[in-house]
Amino acid sequence: LRTTLLFLSPKDLYTAPDSCEGRCEEPYGEEDECHCNTECERYRNCCEDYYRHCRPEGFSSSRDAITDDDLLHVSEQLYKADHNKARPSDVAINPQYRASPGETGDEEDRSPQPLYKYVNEGLFSKPTYASFIKLLDNYERATGREEDVTAEELREQDNFLKEVMKTELMKKLFAFLHKKNRYGSEQEFVADLKEMWFGLYSRGNGEQDSSGFEHVFSGEVKKGKVSGFHNWIRFYLLEKRGAVNYFSHNFDGPWDTYPDVLGLQFSWDGFYKEVGAAFIGCSPEFEFGLYTLCFIARPGRA
C-alpha cells in the first residue's frame, strides 16, 4: 500500500461555488449551489459553465459552440420543415380586444366571443397531433401533488417521440445537434428527449409533481394562477369544452400565415393567466423541436 500526499496551496483548493472549474465529476453534495458530474444534465442542476470545463469527450466548446447565427439558421430550417402546420384555411381566430400593458393583470373579460372561430379538426388525425393530444390528459394540474405515471401513459410518451422523430423537422434538428457533437446517435437523442420533457421534478412541497411537457404544453396551476400552458391545440380543445374563457390579447404577431404568435389573457376554470404566449397553427413537432433546441443550446439562459 502506497500513500501519496499532495500539498496544495489555498488557491488550488478554492473553486467558485457556482462554477465547474476544478470540480468535474465531483461527487454530488447537497450543499453545493450547482453540480459538475454527468448526472447534473439529467437533474438539470449543472453549473452554467459545465460544458466549458467538463465537456463530454469529443465535444469542443469552441468548435462545437452553437452561435446566435446557428440558432437563427436552424430555426428557419425547422420553420420551413413544418409540413404538418395548419394552412390559413384550417384555423380562424377572433382576437377581439387588445389589452394595453396596464390592463393584462385586470382579470377582466373584454372579449365576449371565443378566440377560435374555426379549426379543421382533420389536422388532429395526423400522427404527431393524435399522439400529442393523448398526452394532454395525463397530468394533475395542481403543483405540489405527486404525478402518478401509468404504464399506458409511458407508452403514450414513447409513441409521441416515435412519431415526431419520423418527421423531417426533427431529423433536421438531430442532424444539427449531431454535427455539433451533442449526440452520437438518434437513440441517445430520443432517450434525452424523454428525460428532458417527461422526467419529473418538483415545483412544490418536494413532490415529483411536474415535467417540462406538463408545464409548457398542458399547463399547471400554482398559487392560484395558471403557470405555463403555451399550446394552441390545448387551448382550442379546452375552449371548445367551456373550460377556458378567452379575455383579450396584448400581442399579435406580424405574420399573415401560420404559425403566428399571440400573447393572450384567459381564465382556466377560474384560474387566471396574465400573459400566455402561444404559436398558433404550428404542428406539435415544431414547438417540441424549437424549444428542445433552445434548452440544449442555452441551458439556464435566455
The confidence score (pLDDT) of residue 25 equals 80
Cβ atoms of 246 and 277 closer than 8 Å: no
Q: What is the pLDDT of residues 250-290, one digit of tens each?
A: 999 988 889 999 999 999 999 999 999 999 999 999 999 99
Q: Which is the catalytic residue, given 35, 85, 222, 230?
A: 230
Domain of residue 241, residue span: 68-297
Assess whether 51 and 127 both reside in one domain.
Answer: no
Assess whether 31 and 82 both reside in one domain.
Answer: no
Place 22 in a pLDDT band, splitting at 50, 70 and 90.
confident
Assess whether 44 and 119 both reside in one domain.
Answer: no
The confidence score (pLDDT) of residue 132 equals 98
The confidence score (pLDDT) of residue 256 equals 83
Q: What is the pLDDT of residues 208-243, one digit of tens each?
A: 989 999 999 999 999 999 999 999 999 999 999 999
SS3 116: strand
Q: Which is the catalytic residue, given 35, 85, 180, 273?
A: 273
The label of the residue with cell 416515435 reads: 162
Assess whether 178 and 210 both reside in one domain.
Answer: yes
Assess whether 174 and 37 both reside in one domain.
Answer: no
Whether pTM > 0.85 for this model: the answer is no
For residues 215 and 228, give the distance between their C-alpha atoms in angstroms, rounded to a whole number.
Answer: 5
Amino acid, res. 137? D
Mean pLDDT (whole number) for 85-101: 97
Residues of the chain with pLDDT > 70, as a percent, come to: 92
Over 70: is that where the pLDDT of 60 sits? no
Mean pLDDT (whole number) for 185-209: 92
Verify whether residue 73 is a known catalytic residue: no
SS3 250: strand
Mean pLDDT (whole number) for 60-89: 92
The confidence score (pLDDT) of residue 45 equals 87
Q: Which is the catalytic residue, given 35, 215, 222, 249?
A: 215
For residues 108 and 95, give the distance between their C-alpha atoms in angstroms, rounded to a whole number.
Answer: 15
Assess whether 24 and 150 both reside in one domain.
Answer: no
Instruction: Report the number of distinct structural domains present in the chain.
Output: 2
Verify whether residue 134 is a known catalytic residue: no
Cβ atoms of 126 and 84 closer than 8 Å: yes
> Which residues fall within 8 angstroms of residue 141, CB to CB, at 6 or more apart?
214, 218, 219, 220, 221
Verify whether residue 215 is a known catalytic residue: yes
For residues 154 and 136, give the distance between their C-alpha atoms in angstroms, rounded to a whole number.
Answer: 13
How wide is the angle at C-alpha 271 spanned by C-alphas 124 and 160, nearest 5°? 25
Assess whether 199 and 155 both reside in one domain.
Answer: yes
In a domain, 271, yes or no: yes
Half-sphere CA count of 283, side-chain side, radius 13 A: 28
Average model confidence (pLDDT) for the chain?
A: 90
Assess whether 49 and 73 both reside in one domain.
Answer: no
In a domain, 289, yes or no: yes
Place 4 in a pLDDT band, splitting at 50, 70 and 90.
very low
In a domain, 204, yes or no: yes
Cβ atoms of 252 and 97 closer than 8 Å: no
The confidence score (pLDDT) of residue 7 equals 44
